[in-house]
Structure 1
């Protein structure tokens, strides 16, 4: 490993940019050689007197500038000379001893073999040429039929004519908001929400208002108050295993919200990306069935099949299908037919539903490890999910807990990352246990968090 330490004292601007600049200069003057390993995040942070987070951000910037490559299990290296482009290489700058509970990734099992088999099947299909041509912005007919079957598995209407196939659920969110909004409009959502919706709303020039929640999600009275006060006509929500809080709306709560939405003409954007984790997804009636004429139902493959497939869909209200399709044509013309073909085949042969069942079992196994490690703590993690919402005991603050966890090589996210509104976020963190490679990794990371939780305030005052 390199003993290289940059001199950044006289550099202006943010420390992370100074470090990234120094890496580039050291490569150019030969101080850092091709394929030389850079110091670990922790070692360089210690040598420079900065936080580990600053070094992580600096290395990520160096990857972006194409100075270095980061590989799981190896660390961060200067790029080799004349390195050819590798279409399958994804820079992911995580040290091998990091227990990353920060990102809500699904567990992986046998997906390479699954993809290989499906690709061979497509390659032998005499109709392969159709996948190479432009298609309807809504998607090919048999693709829409497959997505409608997926929606029906979750209790939504089986109506291929209302399906617009998208490049993932994030894209489905974009299409729905493009179809409904203009700059300056207000979007209502849970007060703790998926960060992607915050970024998307900002890009579209939308105002956001978070709605107070209880153990079943959005409080109906608060929803009605916000509609009256703001004139909002859009609501984004995640009724099943809400990200990040993990709450699930009961049927009565869904009916109350649907009645309010109908009364005021509010469009509901229903993100059901985690609905498959229910033992029987169809038993949890979606807004798409309670209020089909005002609900945009979103689902896709990223959590239950593979994020790399990038396939999702919008089940739109009948009167809005053409508008969503026009937004698809504007944004990317169509979803990639080859990706959708693979997913459609997996739906038709039952592979998707087998994967959903596998994930439910795997999530329960990982969750059992967490439950044992964090026994006695105040956290919400419903059976069979991949994330938990941990309310911290005094004297911990969320930010301090995340910092101390990172010093122990465990990465988690504080509540403010997800919070929408002006009031103080609650003292909580989100813990995701789908991305670690195995149960042993989950167990070790959870053990470190449990040890950290047991510390008294004087234990970390001494290191501030």
Structure 2
């Protein structure tokens, strides 16, 4: 009888939410009030909200209560690969920065490859980690950013996401505990879910994770690795200081941790402190690629691996893609050799700075968290604002943004939105940012 009553309450709430009788943002009664009004045990009332949450209809927020979700907004909105953005949509949810003239660069490169060289070699299987001269080319490129690695330590992969995937496959096992930032890259969250890793969020401490909190966590739990983005964190844009990097490495060495260093956006920061992989090469896997610095369609990435891990990583490459496509690698390495990659990186750094300056002018007094040369902005929302309401209002205007949900690794998801600045031309970006400012002002005119 109690079970039937519990199901009736769930069904009634679900029907009211779906019919719009309980609009998005409605605060539901506390668990105790629900139990009293419906004649349920407190535990059963909690179960009602848990089931509604599993259906995607409500969200519980520590210290605030339980609220009706914006059900018209796709669950996981802004999560990479979760949904396609329509052609008429202004995409501020995902970065694929491109510069005028890049298509001509590709056309010229293809002509050059077609007119000379050993084309037959590009049609054959390649070594799993790439050909020696290609690995050496990437090693020379990395030396400019302060990471001195031998070509033998470099493994070529099909983009940075593939680099992260083979690292997880080769060096971690189901059930392993991995320390991460409380807000982190959604792609790594997906990998953790697929490989059944346990992610434990570390609180921030200034510009990066708190080494003391990591040390305390390692004393309580058997932590296997830490995943971090020390140079241009996504989504918060901070750059970890040199002293913080040394402290983090010291904790990792003390507890025998593997460090997974994600440097996908590191090219945007000039004169950054030395990579973690240069401070602790024996325990750090460094992962990056050319998707952001060159083009997202150029699926060439690279992993700098500790000598002891190289064979296992190569086996993971073989198990997934066998090798990076020879043509893609030839294009990327050719652009490394003739300076095209360096020129594109320099131009994109300037492009990102200009877009950040535009965002600062248009968003005005709205609180922003960002780096002056990054392609994204984090907007923490006011206490009474809800990220799903903001995202849905913008979606109605054909503007796609990300909420904090895809980035959150802790149970408490902050109300914030992330704006990707690198995917649309400047005039459309200007008008889209103006609409973002208007929507936030309309929902909370005093929250600036």
- Name the TM-score, length of structure 2 as normaliser: 0.80
Task: Provide the secondary structure at the position in 2 that maps to 1:292.
Answer: coil
**How many angstroms apart in 2 are the aligned matches of 1:413 and 1:93?**
12
**How many angstroms apart in 2 are the aligned matches of 1:400 and 1:376?**
20
Q: Determine the structure 1 residue equivalent to 2:310.
A: 321
**How many angstroms apart in 1 are the aligned matches of 2:243 and 2:370?**
21
Task: Provide the secondary structure at the position in 1 that maps to 2:155.
Answer: strand
Task: Provide the secondary structure at the position in 2 that maps to 1:217.
Answer: coil
Q: Determine the structure 2 residue equivalent to 1:350.
A: 339
Q: Determine the structure 2 residue equivalent to 1:435.
A: 423
Q: Which has the higher contact order (CA 8 A, sep 6+)?
A: 2
The C-alpha deviation readout for 1:235-264, integer Å capped at 9, x for no partner, is 111111111111110111111000000111
Task: Provide the secondary structure at the position in 1 that maps to 2:282.
Answer: helix
Runs of 5+ consecutive residues of structure 1 not aligned to the other structure: 1-14, 16-49, 65-90, 460-464
Runs of 4+ in 1 over 3 A off after TM superposition: 50-55, 456-459
Given that 1:151 and 1:299 are in contact with CA atoms closer than 8 Å, whether structure 2 keeps it comes out as no
Given that 1:52 and 1:407 are in contact with CA atoms closer than 8 Å, whether structure 2 keeps it comes out as no
**How many angstroms apart in 2 are the aligned matches of 1:457 and 1:257?**
39
2:215 alignment partner, one of 215, 224, 236: 224
Task: Provide the secondary structure at the position in 2 that maps to 1:244.
Answer: coil
- Name the TM-score, length of structure 1 as normaliser: 0.77
**How many angstroms apart in 1 are the aligned matches of 2:260 and 2:385?**
36
* Shift in alpha-carbon separation, 1:259–1:440, aligned structure 2, 3 A: same
Deviation at 1:191, TM superposition (A): 1.1
Given that 1:107 and 1:362 are in contact with CA atoms closer than 8 Å, whether structure 2 keeps it comes out as no
Given that 1:296 and 1:315 are in contact with CA atoms closer than 8 Å, whether structure 2 keeps it comes out as yes
Query: Structure 2 matches for 1:273-288, cutoff 5 A?
Result: 273-280=264-271, 283-288=272-277
The C-alpha deviation readout for 1:160-183, integer Å capped at 9, x for no partner, is 011111010000001111121111
The C-alpha deviation readout for 1:295-346, integer Å capped at 9, x for no partner, is 0011110001011110001100011111111111111111111111110010
Q: Determine the structure 1 residue equivalent to 2:132.
A: 141
Task: Provide the secondary structure at the position in 2 that maps to 1:209.
Answer: strand
Tell me which moved more, 370-379 or 105-114: 105-114
**How many angstroms apart in 2 are the aligned matches of 1:346 and 1:187?**
36
Deviation at 1:385, TM superposition (A): 0.9
Q: Determine the structure 2 residue equivalent to 1:335.
A: 324
* Shift in alpha-carbon separation, 1:252–1:93, aligned structure 2, 3 A: closer
In angstroms, what is the RMSD of aligned CA positions? 2.4
Given that 1:370 and 1:446 are in contact with CA atoms closer than 8 Å, whether structure 2 keeps it comes out as yes
* Shift in alpha-carbon separation, 1:264–1:452, aligned structure 2, 3 A: same
> Alignment length, in residue pairs?
376
Runs of 5+ consecutive residues of structure 2 not aligned to the other structure: 1-17, 19-69
Is 1:94 matched up with 2:82? no
Deviation at 1:95, TM superposition (A): 4.7
